[in-house]
Amino acid sequence: MADTQREIERKFEFTKSGAERRGVPDLTGTAGIATVRDRGTAELDAVYYDTPDHRLAADGITLRRRTGGEDAGWHLKLPVAPGVRDEVRADLSDTVPGPLAALIRSRVREGDLRPRVRLLSSRRISHLLDADGALLAELSTDAVTAEREDTTAGWTEVEVELADGVDPGLLDAVEKVFGKAGLKVSAAPSKLARALAETGGRAPERPRRGPADGTAGAHVLAYLREQRDALVAEDPAVRRDLPDSVHRMRVATRRLRSALATHRRVLDRAATDPIRAELRLLAGELGADRDREVLLERLGTRLGELPRALCVGPVRARVGTWNATRRAETRPRALAALDDPRHLRLLDTLDALLADPPLRAAAHRPARRVLPKTVLRDWDRLADRVAAALAMEAGEARETALHEARKAAKRARYAAEAATPALGKPARRLGKAAKKVQTLLGEHRDGVVARDALLALAVEAEAAGESAFTWGVLHGRETGLTADLERRLPHVWAKARAKAGRPAPE
């Protein structure tokens, strides 16, 4: 069984041999530390796993099998922010536990995951306590020996890890005291990275995303890499069921799809259209769970807005049952999509596209000459769809047309936002204008979906012998809200056109 612990820590190293001989300074009296209590020494033996090209280390991830100490087992550390990581633990076993292997699958894929480095640490542990004896942080001084193939190296490292709920400002105070005593914050992001460097191996770093070379192709590829990286990074977050992770991963798929569609003058459609099809399938599988989340939040909000007298019967319990039933379907569906071999093939295909892009002639021209036409084409596509929807009578066909306009607004927004680094303020204005339209049309679509769900809930309630009154009230409110949004659309659209500098045609 795997469990997760949030780590907020800071690692230090001695800047000179004299400082190391003097050892770690006494922290008593620093930032509320009343007592430093010695907890003895532990002998730790950790074997770190990675691919031959160090894919995990390149993304700041470590996977180790450790014996010794109080937390022996498998540890997977996933970066959250500088100095903050989530450590996912599993019991000791001879092979990488399945739950941990799943969390790194988007990085490792079919790579050869094997032991790469062994670290032997003699760890002296102290607890930093406040005046009431509560734990503030754990201070560890590690004498480390790294073994990689036939090479060994050694160093001393000091680590301060906060207890749950402690103000991170404590680490800043400790850093000041340590700085005066000859310790500095470690330049290595992890023990593994330092071990690779100390033993003559390649210490990988996250690739730096510098500015493109000014061509349309370089600009588009930089954006695609950013979204590919987001798609890979959100995979373990979705598996861990972290808040909003399904939404973020779905957005990455949509941005990739939109970019590949928008930039057909830059990248050959023969190569990109199959990728767009796979991204659409993935977004659809993720979408079921995300749509459930959005609808659940909306139903909860609408129920909270009703006077208590209008909530007749066990309406909240009915929503809970509805959500549990659908989550039992949508959550496995999302996970199955991530476990499907075609998902790994999609990631590999994206990597291949970025490594050897099928560039067209426009890719070699300046971005400032190519991108404006591309962005404006997506805006004009949005304009056509909004005009078509507004010309229709109210009803189901118009609601469908508005949904198509919403998708066009999203694509226009993504195109403008992606082009902003190259085009600046005009693209930023257009992106904001498209977002205004997307927001209104998105709210409209959510209302249409909610109406359908409310009808289904009313049927379920009646079948269970419950009153359907509240569901009828909510259905009426959603009907009124969607109608109001349709009335507001011409005004919002006119303002968006003006903001984007794209007046209506004569």
Res 262: pLDDT: 95
State mean pLDDT over 391-411.
96
For the cut 80, the answer to whether the pLDDT of residue 211 exceeds it is no
Q: For residue 432, is pLDDT > 60?
A: yes
pLDDT confidence of residue 202:
66
pLDDT over threshold 90, residue 489: yes
- CA atoms of 361 and 364, how far apart (whole Å): 6
Q: Under a CB-based contact definition with an 8 Å cutoff, are residues 100 and 88 in contact?
A: yes
Instruction: Kindly state the average pLDDT of the residues 251-261.
Output: 96
Chain CA centroid to CA 65, Å? 26
> How confident is the prediction for the chain on average, in pLDDT?
92
pTM for the model stands at 0.88
224's CB contacts (< 8 A; 6+ apart) are 256, 259, 260, 350, 353, 354
| pLDDT tens digit sequence for 81-97 | 888 999 999 999 999 99
pLDDT at 207 (0 to 100): 53
Query: Is there a contact between 430 and 378 (Cβ–Cβ < 8 Å)?
Result: no
CA pair distance 96, 103, nearest whole angstrom: 11
What's the pLDDT tens digit per position in 93-117? 999 999 999 999 999 998 899 999 9
Q: Please give the structure tokens belonging to residue 419.
A: 């082009």
Residue 267 φ then ψ, to 5° = -120, 140
Alpha carbons 82 and 461: distance in angstroms, whole number: 50
Query: Residue 206 pLDDT > 80, yes or no?
Result: no
Give the pLDDT confidence score for residue 259 in this predicted structure: 96
| 347 vs 503, higher pLDDT | 347
pLDDT (mean) for 404-414: 97
pLDDT band, residue 506 (cuts 50/70/90): very low
Q: What is the pLDDT of residues 8-25, one digit of tens each?
A: 999 999 987 767 878 899
pLDDT band (50, 70, 90) for residue 190 = confident
pLDDT confidence of residue 1: 44
User: What percent of the chain is predicted at pLDDT more than 70?
Assistant: 96
Q: pLDDT band at 505, cuts 50/70/90?
A: low
- Look at residue 175 and tell me whether its pLDDT is greater than 80: yes
Burial (0-12, 13-18, 19+ Cβ within 10 Å), 23: middle
Residue 271 pLDDT exceeds 80: yes
In the numeric block, the tokens 């480390």 are attached to 144
Confidence band, pLDDT 50/70/90 cuts, at residue 501: confident
**pLDDT tens track for 322-352:** 999 999 999 999 999 999 999 999 999 999 9
* Radius of gyration for the chain, computed over Cα atoms and rounded to the nearest angstrom: 28
* Total Cβ atoms within 10 A of residue 150: 6
Q: What is the pLDDT of residue 20?
A: 80
Which of 15-24, 146-155, 260-269 has the least mean pLDDT? 15-24
CB 497 within 8 A of CB 433: yes
pLDDT for position 2: 65
Rounded to whole angstroms, the Cα distance separating 453 from 471 reads: 9
> Is the Cβ–Cβ distance between 140 and 159 less than 8 Å?
yes
Nearest to 253 by CA among 414, 399, 94, 55: 414
Q: What is the pLDDT of residue 503?
A: 60
Range 491-497 average pLDDT: 95
The predicted model gives 147-172 an average pLDDT of 94
Looking at residue 210, its pLDDT comes to 46
